[in-house]
Amino acid sequence: MALPKLSAPKYKLKLPSDGRTVNYRPFLVKEEKLLLLATETGEQADLITAIKDIIAACTDIKDIEKLSTFDIEFVFLQIRTKSVGESIDLNVTCPDDGETQVEVSIPLADIKVIKTKGHKKDIKLTDEVMISMGYPSLDTFVKMNFTDEEANVEQIFEMAASCVQTITDVEEVHDCTSMDKSEVMEFFNQLSSKQFAEIQNFFETMPKLSHTVKVTNPKTKVDNEVVLEGLASFFA
């Protein structure tokens, strides 16, 4: 006689970037193994791959490669909450001495996607020219933040160029998503430092997974606030 098959409960969430409703379920043991194996290697790229594979298996999202970093972080956090438990235990380093670690338990429901006031995707460069930005994909984000080599100026320009969706002038809306990135980078070369700073500000203020914990250093008795940002901070 065949063993019984178990059905997993299903839940709904809304993507932070566009409010789209997504159906999801907890991850199963076979999917948790992927995560454990990736965690064991200590490689960020392995962890990101495992997270994407889990999201593909546990949700009805079809365009995972196009999701923004903070969407993927948020979705994975919801899956993890329903799969393992409502809180996560972490060791955080006290900023006052930079070495003493304190264990904290963080309710996962308290970890939110923080949106910076004034953040906007449409940037007015002149009275006649506007640029519309999209968020970097997780692959782009990992390449820029988790590789061993420090990103050079050219790589930073490439990342920014890959996120430009449209450039609008008085005559036309230019679709940059199907355009060669070298053309967008050539456009960037015409910008003033102040104009390019507007584009940099878009990346610096884009939504991110964030939570602030208060800890007391047991050695110095100093009260500290530690800001945890991004998925790696919560699952390091």
Asked if pLDDT for residue 143 goes beyond 70, the answer is no
Instruction: Please name the amino acid found at residue 99.
Output: E
Is pLDDT of 203 > 80?
A: yes
State the average pLDDT for the chain: 86
pLDDT at 176 over 90: yes
- Over the stretch 8-49, which tens digit does the pLDDT of each residue have? 889 999 999 888 999 999 988 888 888 888 878 767 778 778
**Global pTM?**
0.76
Q: For residue 124, which phi and psi values (nearest 5 degrees)? A: -85, 110
Q: Is 19 left (phi over 0), alpha (psi -120 to 50) or beta?
A: left
pLDDT for res 150 = 55
Of the listed ranges 4-8, 71-75, 119-123, the least confidently predicted one is: 4-8
Q: What crossing angle do the helices spanning 44-58 and 138-145 adopt, rounded to 10°?
A: 170
The SS3 assignment for 9 reads coil
CA dist 230 and 64 (Å) reads: 18
When pLDDT is averaged across residues 186-201 and rounded to a whole number, the result is: 93
Is 133 in contact with 165 (CB distance < 8 Å)? yes
Q: Is the pLDDT of residue 153 over 80?
A: no
Selection from 149, 144, 121 nearest residue 206 by Cα? 121
pLDDT grade for 6, boundaries at 50, 70 and 90: confident
Whole-angstrom distance, CA of residue 27 vs CA of residue 78: 10
Residues with Cβ < 8 Å from 77, sequence gap 6 or more?
Answer: 108, 111, 209, 231, 234
**The CA-based dihedral angle spanning residues 157, 162, 165, 166, taken in that order and rounded to the nearest 10 degrees:** 50
Q: So what's the pLDDT on residue 151?
A: 56
- 3-state SS of 137-180 is EHHHHHHHHCCCCCCCHHHHHHHHHHCEEEEECCCCEEECCCCC
Say how far apart CA 160 and CA 197 lie, in whole Å: 11
Length of the chain (residues): 236
**pLDDT tens-digit series, residues 36-84:** 888 787 677 787 788 888 999 999 998 888 888 889 889 988 998 888 8
3 state DSSP class of 83 = helix
